[in-house]
Amino acid sequence: MTMQYPRESLASEPQALTPDYKSTILRSPKRPLIGLDPTISELSGPVYGQESVLPTDSDLTRQHSGEPLGERIIVSGRVMDEDGRPLPNTLLEIWQANAAGRYVHVRDQHPAPLDPNFSGAGRCLTDDAGRYTFTTVKPGAYPWKNHHNAWRPAHIHFSLFGPSFLTRVITQMYFPGDPLFPFDPIFNSVSDEKARQRMISTFDFDTTESEWALGYRFDIVLRGRAATPFEDSE
Amino acid sequence: MSDHGLMPSQTIGPFFAYALTPTAYDYAALAGNDLRTDDAVGQPIVVTGRVFDGGGDLVPDAMIEIWQADGEGRYPGVSEALANTRFKGFGRSETLEGIYRFSTVKPGRITGPEGSDQAPHINVGLFARGVNRRLFTRIYFEDESTNQTDAVLALVPDERRATLIARRDGTENGLPRYVLDIRLQGEDETVFFEA
C-alpha cells in the first residue's frame, strides 16, 4: 500500500522553542524548516524484528533476581496509522524512573534510592493487530532544575519506529489525573489541548489483573495514511 | 482531517542512554554506532562531527540516529537484494563530549524523483534534552559530483548548503574520515528539513 504523510497532521506537534522549558532556548533552530517531498530515503525505514527483542524485555519487573518495589502496572495499547489501521511488527522502546522517581542514568543526581531490582528499560514488538504490552512499576515524579520547585509528572518515555523514517517518534506517556500537569513545561510544550490529552494513558479495568497489577491503556497513532486511488495512480 | 490524531512528540530528555545508547550499561543495544557488517557493500568510512547549541557550547547529551543506503544506493527493507544481509542501515550515536561518530559504509547514489539520482547522503535524526521534536537533516559528501544536481540540495539556499556537506578530513583507524558539525542554532545553523 502506498502511504502518504500529510504535513497538516503535524499541526499538533510542539514548536521547537517553548521558552518555559529553558533547555529549548539555545537548542531550537531559528530558521524555518525546509520542506521536501518525501523520497525513498524518507519513505523507507529500519526494520527490527523478533530477533531484536528478548522475552524479558517487555517485563521490566523480571529483569533482576528480585522484584522491584512500587506499584506493579500493565501498560498496553495499539499502534495505528492515521487511518486507524494497526501497525504490526513495530518496535517500541521504553525507559522510565523507578517508583521513587530515580533513573539508573549515571547523571541523575536526585537523592532518591536506586532499586537494585529495577533498571527501567524495555522493548517489544507489536503483534499482528498492532498491540503491545509492557509490565512495569509506576514511575515516581521527580524534581528537575528548570525552575524553582520544578517537578516532572510521572511518565514513561516511549520510542517508536513505525514503517518509515517519517513515522519515527519519541514521546512520553503520562498517568491520568496527575496534579503536576499545569506546572510542567514539557507536557505543555504541546500547545494543542486535544493532542496533550492523547499523551495521557487511561486507567483500564479490562487489563487490570486481579490480585496482581493495575492496567493502563495507551494507544499511539503514527504518521501515515493510505494514498487515495487517484493519488496512487499518479 | 483524520479521526486519529497523531501522538505528539516529547523531548528524549537527559536520561535515555541506559535504554537507547547503553554502551556504559548492562543492556543490549538495539543499534550502535558501527553499521559495518561483513556483507555490507560499500567503502568503509568514518563520519563524525561536533554538535553545538546556540551559545556555541557542545551538546553532550544528544542522540544522533542515521538511516542510510549501502554503497549501491540500496535501502534495507526495500531492496530484495539485501533481504538476507546483515547490513541494517541504521545506527545510533550518543554525543558524550559533544561529538557524534559512526563507522559505516559510504552510501551510493539513490533513486530520486522521476528517475533522477539523488546524491549519496545519510539521513539524520537528532534528539536531545531541549529538543521537543526530532530534528531531521542530511549528511552529503563533498567529493560527490551529483551534489550539483541533487533535488533536495537544490531546495537549500546556496549560502546554507555547506551546513549539509561533510568534508573529507584524513583517516581514522585507517578509514577515510568525513566531518560535519551540527549547529542547532545561530550563525551557520544547520539546515533542518520537514517531510
At position B65, the amino acid (one-letter code) is E
Residues in A closer than 8 angstroms to B24, CB to CB, are 106
**B7: pLDDT confidence band, cut at 50, 70 and 90?**
very high
B101-119 tens-digit pLDDT = 999 999 999 988 777 899 9
Task: Report the alpha-carbon distance of residue A143 to residue B25 in Å, rounded.
Answer: 24
Separation of alpha carbons B168 and B189, rounded Å: 20
Indicate yes or no: CB of B111 within 8 angstroms of CB of A93. no
Mean model confidence pLDDT for chain B: 96
Strand, helix or coil at A197?
helix
What is the model's pLDDT at position A2? 83
Query: Which of B54, B123, B132 is the closest to A42 by Cβ?
Result: B123
List domains and CATH numbers for chain B.
Answer: 31-183 (2.60.130.10)
Cβ atoms of residues B124 and B138 within 8 Å: yes
The stretch B25-48 carries a mean pLDDT of 96
DSSP state of A24: G
3-state class (DSSP) for residue A185: coil
Parallel/antiparallel/unpaired status of strands A91-96 and A225-226? unpaired
Q: Return the residue of A nearest to B51 by Cα.
A: A27
B139-152 pLDDT tens trace: 999 999 999 999 99
- Within 8 A of A7 by CB-CB distance, chain B residues are 194
* Amino acid in position A216: Y
Given a cut of 60, whether residue B79 has pLDDT beyond it is yes
For residue B17, is it left (φ>0), alpha (ψ between -120 and 50) or beta?
alpha
Enumerate the residues of chain B whose CB falls inside 8 A of the CB of residue A172.
Answer: 10, 13
pLDDT at res. A1: 73
Question: Which among B1, B3, B10 is the top mutation candidate for probing chain A, defined by the most A β-carbons within 10 Å of its own β-carbon?
Answer: B10
Contacts of B193 in chain A (CB under 8 A): 33-36
pTM, full prediction: 0.97
**Minimum mean pLDDT range among A183-187, B12-16, B79-83:** B79-83
pLDDT at B167 over 50: yes
Whether pLDDT at B184 is above 60: yes
Angstroms from A216 CA to nearest CA on chain B: 17
CA-CA distance, A72 to A212, in Å (whole number)? 7
Catalytic residue status for A105 = no
pLDDT over 50 at B172, yes or no: yes
Give ipTM to 2 decimals. Answer: 0.96
Q: Residue A52: helix, strand or coil by DSSP?
A: helix
∠ CA A46-A52-A53, nearest 5°, is 130
- Report CB contact under 8 Å: B131, A48: no
Residue A157 annotated among the catalytic residues of the structure: yes
Domains with residue ranges and CATH for chain A: 64-221 (2.60.130.10)
pLDDT of residue A233: 45
Beta strands A214-217 and A72-80: pairing type? Answer: parallel
Q: Residue A71, Cβ neighbours under 10 Å: how many? A: 12
- Average pLDDT (B30-50) is 97
Residue tagged 538476507 (cell numbers): B84
- pLDDT given for residue B145 in this prediction: 97
Closest CA to A119 of A136, A134, A140, A131: A136
Q: How many CB atoms lie within 10 A of CB B114?
A: 6
In the three-class reduction of DSSP (H, G, I as helix; E, B as strand; rest coil), residue A136 is classed as strand
Smallest CA–CA distance, residue B133 to chain A, in Å, is 7
Is B165 within 8 Å of B93 (Cβ atoms)? no
Of A135, A162, A33, A18, residue with least CA distance to B6: A162
B29 CB near a chain A CB, below 8 Å? no
Q: Distances in Å between the alpha carbon of A201 and those of A196, A217, A234, B13, B20?
A: 11, 5, 40, 20, 23
**What is the rounded CA–CA span in Å between residue B123 and residue B90?**
10
Active-site entry in A64, A157, A198, A225:
A157
- What is the distance between the alpha carbons of residues B138 and B122, in angstroms, rounded to a whole number? 6
pLDDT at residue A231, rounded to an integer = 53
pLDDT at residue A227, as a whole number? 85
Task: Residue window 84-103, chain B: list those with CB within 8 Å of chain A.
Answer: 88-90
Catalytic residue, from A72, A102, A123, A152: name it. Answer: A152
Catalytic residue among A123, A155, A174, A216: A155
Flag if B11 and A34 touch (Cβ within 8 Å).
no
Q: Which of A39, A43, A78, A194 is most worth mutating to test chain B (most B CB atoms within 10 A of its CB)? A: A39
In chain A the first and final C-alpha atoms are separated, in Å, by 14
Residue A229: strand, helix, or coil: helix
What pLDDT does A87 receive? 97
- B53 chain-A contacts, CB cut-off 8 A: 26-27
Positions in chain A short of pLDDT 50 = 232-234
Q: H helices of chain A, where?
A: 40-43, 193-198, 229-232
